[in-house]
Amino acid sequence: MQIAIVGAGIVGAATAYELAADGHEVTVFEQRAAAAEEASFGSAGLLAPALLLPWATPGIGAGAKRRLWASPSAPQLVRGAGISGLTWRRRWIRAGSDPTAPTLLAALEGLGRYSLARTRELAQLFDVDMETSRGTLVLLRRPEDMEQLQPALQLLRDAGEILHEVDADTARLIEPGLSSDAPLAGALHAPGGEAGNCRLFAQILRHAAQEQGAQCVFGARVQALSSGAASLQIAGEAAPRRFDAVVLCTGLASAALLRPLGLRLPLAAVHGYTISAPLREDSHAPQGSVIDPLHHLTITRQGQRVRVSGGAELGPAGGAQHAPTLQTLYLALSGWFPGGALTSSPQVQVWRGARPTLPDGAPVIGTSGHAGLWINAGHGACGWAQACGSARALADLIAGRAPAFDLQPFRVQRF
């Protein structure tokens, strides 16, 4: 089949690779000059356990007392969020206690597990180092912090994920750089946890797709999709281009592209930050990844850099950087791993990105309902962790094969 992929973030790059590897004639249209320039640019890098990622789904990290206005488990409304931000935030909070939430959580666990296996398989096949680090430690400041994670923990354990509850001393043996002064009641250790460089892998996937015959057209903005046939209109071109299938991997932009076709995807930009600093002293830096569930942040190792990530803001794209959030991230990095990173180096990179998030935290993977138009978008806080699995499953669906996991929970028709 002749297939067009719109968008070359991590999801589009993975989809292009899988479809090209299946023997399709693939063309990727990307508005930017390179792959992974938007949400996939500065991701925190955590691959597993994806369900424990901050802002992975509503309902996790909520704690016993969930409040509508000051819920610490819902993204923060910032200047310019407007009524739409407020409404979306309410949907997110409600979704956490929806009767369907446990089913969706189980489906997300399955997607995360499958995707991790596929990511590892591809990294091995390409024989590349994607700055992988192994092991994830969830830092518990207070014994009751564990309570927030219970819905995810049970599912992970039922699925065979090894999760050890360890005391503070053992946590410091696993991550020797952890400060002896930091408040640590204990930790949860996932030896199978993993992090890697999302942007780097997107670029590797793009090259691998090209080696399989895919064409990548950069600087090509798709301005409209057609409802009757699989065709799309590129800005500046006189006539639409026709394909046998079009796959939308446009992250946040998917809602605007689908609206003229009568599909309303309630996507929100949940902005977050990453601060990447050069390594100062290896033994003082994280060896794997840590998650601080109280402050909804992660600290990961990315090769010769340390990356701290957090913040969840509902507001406009061009909004100013939120100084208190950045300060929390700097404090967390130096508080948990003092001397691990050069935070005053001119090479420090501060990035604000938008997680393309749907109110139930799950992506849309499957048909749009319009002939020949497929969607692989809305992966929220877990796009890196879910990209390779989503891409393989969608490629199977397009080929008429049964995907390795049930895609029903990810249908667009749930909205």
Ligand X SMILES: Cc1cc2nc3c(=O)[nH]c(=O)nc-3n(C[C@H](O)[C@H](O)[C@H](O)COP(=O)(O)OP(=O)(O)OC[C@H]3O[C@@H](n4cnc5c(N)ncnc54)[C@H](O)[C@@H]3O)c2cc1C
What residues line the site for ligand X (CB under 6 A)?
A: 6-12, 29-32, 36-40, 43-46, 53, 221-222, 249-251, 253, 257, 272-274, 309, 353-356, 377, 379-385
Question: Given the complex with ligand X, which of 177 and 383 has the nearer CB atom?
Answer: 383
Shortest approach of ligand X to residue 364 CB, angstroms? 10
Question: Given the complex with ligand X, which of 148 and 325 has the nearer CB atom?
Answer: 325
Q: CA 194, CA 45: separation in Å to the nearest integer? A: 9
Question: Given the complex with ligand X, which of 10 and 138 has the nearer CB atom?
Answer: 10
Question: Given the complex with ligand X, which of 186 and 252 has the nearer CB atom?
Answer: 252
Question: Given the complex with ligand X, which of 10 and 74 has the nearer CB atom?
Answer: 10
Question: Given the complex with ligand X, which of 341 and 381 has the nearer CB atom?
Answer: 381
Shortest approach of ligand X to residue 260 CB, angstroms? 12
Shortest approach of ligand X to residue 222 CB, angstroms? 4
136 in Cβ contact with 190 (< 8 Å): yes
Shortest approach of ligand X to residue 99 CB, angstroms? 26
Question: Given the complex with ligand X, which of 172 and 301 has the nearer CB atom?
Answer: 301
209 backbone dihedrals φ, ψ, rounded to 5°? -65, -40
Shortest approach of ligand X to residue 389 CB, angstroms? 11
Q: CA 93, CA 122: separation in Å to the nearest integer? A: 36
Shortest approach of ligand X to residue 278 CB, angstroms? 19
Shortest approach of ligand X to residue 16 CB, angstroms? 11
